[in-house]
Structure 1
Amino acid sequence: MWRRAVTLTQSKASQSWRAIATSSSKYGSTSASAAAAVDSLLLRSLKDHYLEVSRMTPPPKVSPPSPFTIIKGALDSNGPVLKRTYGKEEISIYVMRLANIIRGEGDDPEEEDGINQLFLHVDVSKPGQEDSLQFLCGLYPDALGIHSVSMRPKLETSEDVVQSKYNGPVFEDLDQRVRDALHSFIEERGVNESLFPFLQAWLYVKDHRNLIHWFKSVGTFINEKKSIDAQH
């Protein structure tokens, strides 16, 4: 959906860009009027896309499975999305789209709307322990697969995932009994495919908010540039 929104007027805009570029090249250097025309075209295109995205219907509201709760401010940060307690443990869930982590040659951009492959980071911490047990997983509508398990300092944001010195052994190289036990460990703590509907809807809303903010911030920058240029 986002790809279709962003390319709503791509063909028409591209024709306009080429017309301006051809005119500028014909007369040697880019004139002030050509630069102003480029800015105006960009602002119109940004506004069209902004309005299109604003009219998108959000998905139905989905609540996370109990006893997980949504962390306040998660939509505006790169921190954890969900948390719960399990005995003395604190379980924190981070999520990203798997397509943002692994780009395969066979990726089909038309399947982008489904957000059917999620990258899950599960942080299990205990009081008084500097390190936490952390799982990197793939989450799907009907399954959860563990990619790796490691001991690391407790995370603050999702960017910290790639900053560890050691990511743990390759999960598939572990003994089958160990793999099964680790799956049981996180499933006992409620980390399974039941999280998928909420996290899928949550990422949709976050993508929407990010895209709206991007159109607004770029438009504001161009408007300020035009104001400054007009003063000189």
Structure 2
Amino acid sequence: MAMARIIRPLRRALISSSKSVTQKNPNPLHLQSPISIFTTRSYISEMRKSAFEGNILRLLRSEIEYELEHFTPKELVVEYDSFVVEERPGEQWIRLKKKFGEKEEIKIEVTMFDGSIPVEKSPDGIRIGQEVELHITLIVNISKGEGSDVLEFVCSAWPQSVEIVNVLVHGKDGRPNQLYMSPKFKDLDDELQESLYEFLETRGIDDDLAIFVHEYMKNKDKTEFIRWMGTVKSFIEQK
């Protein structure tokens, strides 16, 4: 009984002391009003968002600065070997157009780099030059005036050569004018293949054109990359 009389007052004292401490130092997460908790969490979330976006902007500015220091844009070319060159900022291709002879109209759509192959190794296993060769697709359409069919060459442009991949015939509406599309170009007679290459070369679609479009697309690729980074940076900077 004596021990119980000692313990009960001690328990009351401890409970009273605990309440006093709680009143002096309230737990901010449990005792604050819902509005106050929401405001605190929103502030923390906004700080994190600001820090995250600030890091993205820092990286973008650094990358843009680096590219501008190491890249000098070349003057825009509007004509090459009687071809008129058409380009629009932000597009993934360019167009070349010209007339040939009295009737022919030649239009070429040139993609940006859309593939690559490894460079062959030398006998000692050391790579020669760059590690890959970049690939560009050329879609060559040749027509002979309004209402004529269109002879289409699908070509691969490597850094110093043009290779014919396929030859198609389209109607004036752009659709194939027969169910039989075409044989694989590599399956054609060798002499016929050579004659078709000469047909294109006579119209200025040759290895020199491959060199031109590769140089042009290197410049466009860098220009578009810098433009893209600037657009992303401007968007993130908006409040």
TM-score normalized with structure 2 length: 0.63
Greater share of strand: 2
CA distance in 2, matches of 1:155, 1:82: 21
2:194 corresponds, among 171, 180, 189, to 180
Aligned identity (percent) is 27
**CA 1:59–1:153 in 2, change beyond 3 Å: closer, same or farther?**
farther
Partner of 1:39: 53
User: Could you tell me which residue of structure 2 aligns to residue 217 of structure 1?
Assistant: 231
* Alpha-carbon offset, residue 76 of structure 1: 4.9
Amino acid at match of 1:175: D
Distance 2:159 2:173 in 1: 26
Structure with higher Rg: it is 2
Question: What per-residue deviation string (whole Å, max 9, x for no partner) do you get for residues 113-158 of structure 1?
Answer: x8653322211122123642111112234432100111236799xx
> Is there any run of 5+ residues in structure 2 with no aligned partner, and where?
1-43, 121-128
Aligned partner of 2:40 in structure 1 is none
Task: Answer whether contact 1:65 1:194 (CA < 8 A) is retained.
Answer: no
Aligned length: 183
| Equivalences for residues 51-200 of structure 1 within 5 A | 51-58=65-72, 65-71=80-86, 73-74=87-88, 76-78=90-92, 80-87=94-101, 88-98=103-113, 100=114, 102=115, 106=118, 111=130, 116-129=134-147, 131-152=149-170, 168-200=182-214
Distance 1:107 1:97 in 2: 20
Q: What's the RMSD between the two structures over aligned residues?
A: 3.5
TM-superposed CA distance for 1:39, in Å, is: 0.5
One-letter code aligned to 1:193: D
What TM-score, normalized by structure 1, do the two folds share?
0.65
Q: Structure with the greater relative contact order (CA < 8 A, sep ≥ 6): 1 or 2?
A: 1
SS at match of 2:70: coil
Task: Give unpaired runs (5+ residues) of structure 1.
Answer: 1-29, 157-164, 228-232
More displaced 10-residue stretch of structure 1: 77-86 or 187-196? 77-86
The answer on whether the counterparts of 1:141 and 1:196 sit within 8 Å (CA) in structure 2 is yes
For the structure 1 residues 76 and 31, does the alpha-carbon distance in structure 2 shift closer, same or farther, using more than 3 Å as the test? closer
Tell me which amino acid in the other structure corresponds to 2:196. L
* Distance across 2 between alignment mates of 1:168 and 1:85: 26
Aligned-partner Cα distance in 1 for 2:233–2:119: 31
Q: Which amino acid aligns with 1:93?
A: I
8 A Cα contact 1:59 1:201, kept in partner? no
